[in-house]
């Protein structure tokens, strides 16, 4: 479990995780497909080196016919390419008070890359799941210690989730081989879910007959109000809208400065629970809201662009906010602490951008 701190300041460990794990600069939302090198990363242990020439993926466990596939064999299978919005489950954690001590994300643990890979479902069908299989376990080549347990990074999906047709084994990102740090040569991509499900550097896929109870599955990535609760698993991405902060920044504070007049504020919105149906914009810290304009998303699992012409007529200090609502009726709280939980997961309070209009 995460240690909780009431300090407004951040520890050396948190800063270390921030320097290792880049967020997306929010101005990167100008691009419908996040350029390589701007997409967020959360690397639990070290980036492993996996030799693509000798790489083989075993599909084993409770299957009729275990498989072992080279990278070329995987690439020869039917391929799909799709933009997928991905967000770290720890998003927004740094906004909380008290604060769980882990990667101190604010709003930037995001990216929407175009992934190419082969559907997992047809591979599992080819291997033939046995009747007693209940979950599929995905193990990465990355290894380390977390919660005092030595482990490979591994997570499972229920059969129902593993067999969703949009779940793929990806070997390309934005039309190029996966970057080393994004799971080269092969990773799982689970659309709509927070990033922890999309296991990188795949070493093995195994059908199992008992629910997986590893650290990343049962100890971490649960919504809990206290350490004692078993809680509920973190799965789909909560709705969120973010804006490209308008104007120009001050270096240290990142506070925005803007000339008075009309400004087109734009951003992106997404939800793992269904299409975004509404994005609202506020220039007064969330007291009053205007509907923003929504473009068509580039795909079912992509974020959607929104825009709003803000008339910043009067010089002064403003707090800009954006709020998304999805087809399931889920929306964002005004205050991150309304969705506080022990691990600091899925925090989706409205974004707040301070702007000085002069």
Q: Residues in the site for a second copy, rule: CB under 8 A?
A: 7-23, 25, 27-28, 30-31, 35-38, 41, 43-47, 49, 94, 101-102, 104-106, 108, 143-146, 150, 179-182, 245, 248-254, 257
Residue among 212, 19, 33, 47 at smallest CA distance from 114: 33
Nearer to a second copy, 22 or 61 (CB): 22
Are 97 and 7 in contact by the 8 Å Cβ rule? The answer is no
| Smallest separation, CB 48 to a second copy (Å) | 8
Give whichever of 20 and 300 is closer to a second copy, judged by the CB atom.
20
Sole residue written with tokens 């979950």:
135
The nearest distance, CB 17 to a second copy, in angstroms, is 7
Tokens found for residue 111:
């990216």
The DSSP H or E segment spanning 199 is none
State which residue, 111 or 286, has the beta carbon closest to a second copy: 111
- Give the integer Cα–Cα distance in Å for 312 and 175: 40
> Could you tell me the smallest distance in angstroms from the CB atom of residue 134 to a second copy?
28
Q: How far is the CB of 181 from a second copy (least distance, A)?
A: 6
Closest approach, Cβ 213 to a second copy, in A, equals 18
**Nearer residue to a second copy within complex by CB, 8 or 78:** 8
Q: Which is nearer to a second copy, 94 or 188 (CB)?
A: 94
**Distance separating alpha carbons of residues 113 and 204, to the nearest angstrom:** 24
Tell me the pairing of strands 202-208 and 56-61: parallel
As measured in angstroms, the least distance from the Cβ of 76 to a second copy is: 26
DSSP 63: B
Taking CA atoms, 328 is separated from 239, 294, 300, 351, in Å, by 10, 17, 15, 21
Burial class (CB in 10 A: 0-12, 13-18, 19+), 112: buried
- Residues 6 or more apart in contact with residue 73 via CB below 8 angstroms: none
- Taking the least distance from each CB to a second copy, the nearer of 263 and 271 is 263
């Amino acid at each position: 479990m995460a240690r909780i701190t009431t300090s407004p300041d951040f520890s050396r460990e948190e800063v270390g995780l921030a320097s290792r794990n880049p967020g997306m600069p929010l101005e990167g939302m100008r691009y419908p497909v996040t350029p390589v090198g701007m997409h967020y990363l959360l690397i639990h242990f070290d980036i492993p080196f996996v030799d693509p020439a000798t790489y083989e993926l075993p599909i084993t466990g409770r299957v009729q016919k275990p498989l072992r596939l080279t990278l070329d064999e995987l690439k020869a299978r039917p391929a799909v390419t799709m933009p997928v919005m991905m967000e770290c489950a720890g998003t927004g954690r740094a906004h909380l008070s008290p604060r769980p001590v882990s990667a101190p994300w604010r709003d930037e643990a995001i990216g929407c890359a175009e992934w190419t890979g082969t559907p997992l479902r047809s591979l599992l069908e080819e291997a033939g799941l046995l009747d007693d299989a209940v979950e599929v376990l995905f193990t990465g080549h990355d290894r380390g210690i977390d919660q005092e347990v030595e482990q490979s990074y591994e997570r499972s999906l229920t059969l129902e989730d593993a067999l969703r047709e949009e779940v793929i084994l990806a070997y390309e990102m934005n039309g190029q081989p996966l970057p080393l740090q994004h799971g080269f040569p092969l990773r799982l991509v689970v659309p709509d879910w927070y990033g922890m499900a999309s296991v990188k550097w795949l070493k093995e896929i195994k059908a199992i007959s008992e629910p997986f109870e590893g650290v990343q599955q049962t100890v971490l990535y649960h919504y809990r109000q206290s350490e004692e609760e078993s809680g509920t698993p973190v799965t789909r991405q909560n709705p969120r809208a973010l804006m490209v902060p308008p104007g120009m920044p001050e270096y240290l504070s990142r506070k925005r400065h803007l000339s008075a007049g009309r400004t087109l504020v734009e951003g992106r919105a997404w939800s793992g629970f269904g299409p975004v149906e509404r994005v609202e914009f506020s220039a007064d810290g969330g007291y009053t809201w205007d509907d923003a304009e929504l473009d068509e998303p580039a795909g079912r699992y992509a974020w959607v662009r929104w825009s709003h012409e803000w008339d910043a007529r009067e010089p002064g200090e403003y707090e800009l906010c954006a709020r998304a609502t999805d087809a399931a009726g889920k929306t964002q709280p005004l205050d991150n602490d309304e969705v506080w939980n022990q691990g600091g997961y899925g925090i989706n309070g409205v974004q707040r951008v301070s702007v000085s209009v002069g």
